[in-house]
Amino acid sequence: MLAVTFCRDSRNRLSSVFATGHAGFAEHGEDIVCAAVSAILQAARLGLEGHARVQIEASQSSGELHLAWPETARDDAAVRAIVATAELSIEQIAAQYPTHVRFHRKTEPPA
């Protein structure tokens, strides 16, 4: 199961995304569900870094990806569009493949 969590800060702005696991839809290298989620999250990372020019915190290893962007960038229109599109896309994939992708939303407590 691939679990993807989109986190919002106390002002309800998207602040980070965390993905862990594998979809298990098909064999490694043939799993279109895992590839779709990975492509969307990698595109979001590239958009944040290359288009919006945001310094993000990122960590990635096999079966795990975490992206977080600074509070100062969360109201930027480009940042909001990039991460909201990724969130909507992952939510739709999870709806189509509920036994392979679990989608979560989480609100962070105030600091």
What's the confidence (pLDDT) of residue 29?
84
Q: Which domains does the chain have, with CATH numbers?
A: 2-107 (3.30.70.1490)
Alpha-carbon span 7 to 72, nearest angstrom: 16
Q: Which two tokens stand for residue 22?
A: 């594998």
pTM for the complete prediction?
0.92
Can you state the angle between helices 77-96 and 32-46, rounded to 10 degrees?
170
What's the confidence (pLDDT) of residue 62?
86
What's the confidence (pLDDT) of residue 110?
61
Beta-strand relationship, 14-21 and 2-8: antiparallel
Alpha-carbon span 50 to 63, nearest angstrom: 24
99: Cβ contacts below 8 Å, ≥ 6 apart = 1
What's the confidence (pLDDT) of residue 111?
57
Specify which residues 6 forms β-bridges with: 17, 105
Find out whether 17 and 83 touch, Cβ atoms under 8 Å: yes
Strands (E) across the chain are located at: 2-8, 14-21, 57-61, 64-68, 101-107
CB atoms within 10 A of CB 28: 8
What's the confidence (pLDDT) of residue 76?
97
Q: Enumerate residue ranges in the chain where pLDDT < 50.
A: none
